[in-house]
Amino acid sequence: MKNSNLLIGIGLIVVILFFINTGEKQMKKTTGTLYISNNAITSTGTRIVYGTNMEAQEIIPTQDFTLGNIMIYCRKSGAPTAVTIELYDELNGNLLSSGMIDGTTLPTTTEWVEVTMSNAELISGQNYFIVISSVGDGSNNIYLKVDGTLSYPSGRYYTTEDSPTWVDISANYDLLFEVYGSESAQTCPSTICSDSTIDYNEFIQTANFWINE
């Protein structure tokens, strides 16, 4: 009888540990391949995001891929509503991809938070900008953790805090982020990618239309 109770007790401990470990993994659960990142949490700073106070990180892929999701290191303060991540070809350029989460579901302690993005084809060597915004105010916002050691030299960091335009604060921060995706099924011809007047995604859509016709 004692042995049976001992086995049951051990079994319960194993089950509890399984769910605890599973829960820890789910905090940073994502799908796809990690293509671009700055995720070494060493010396960090905090940026407060709400309303017109937005943050942006320039990224430069080293290989072509299809964007899937982006993770940021953050927490909520108060009850912000919509938190949006967008990807642009320039800071004030064309919107290539976007994703949104309910800010009220964010953790109250800093964790990695995943945002599913609409698909976009990213091209190796080209510049893109991750823009983070939130609907809220001074009491309802997100605390975005940033890297104070400048561990991502490939891109610059910008803010609109207290400014109507983007301000370069790359001398102080880089965003803590991870960009996931999948292998790109499309290869951008050099004659197209080298021409900045051609939108590659629009080119592919037009070509597919005529092929299917």
- 209 part of a folded domain: no
Beta bridge partners of 70: 115, 179
Asked, for residue 7, whether it belongs to a domain, the answer is no
Distance CA 93, CA 22 (A): 40
How is the beta sheet containing 55-59 ordered, strand by strand? 95-102, 82-88, 128-134, 55-59, 157-159, 167-168
Structure tokens at 97: 């991809």
HEC string for 107-154? CCCCEEEEEECCCCEECCCCCEEEEEEECCECCEEEEEEEECCCCCCC
CATH number of the domain bearing residue 125: 2.60.120
Burial (CB < 10 A; 0-12, 13-18, 19+), residue 183, is exposed
pLDDT mean for each 10 residues of the chain (213 residues): 52 40 44 93 92 98 97 97 97 97 96 97 98 97 96 96 95 97 73 63 62 54
Number of domains in the chain: 1
Instruction: Name the pTM for this structure.
Output: 0.75
- At 31 the pLDDT is 72
pLDDT score for 201: 62
Say which amino acid occupies 9.
Answer: G
Please indicate, yes or no, if residue 15 is contained in any of the structural domains: no
Residue 31 resides in a domain: no
Distance CA 172, CA 15 (A): 45
Looking at residue 18, its pLDDT comes to 38
**Domain membership flag for residue 21:** no
Nearest alpha-carbon partner for 83 in 116, 111, 59, 120 = 116
For 106, the token pair is: 């964010």
Residue 29 belongs to some domain of the structure:
no
The reply to whether 194 falls in a domain is no
pLDDT in the model for residue 44? 87
- Domain hosting residue 141, numbered range: 36-183
Element (H, E) at 6: helix 2-26
Residue 191 lies in a domain: no
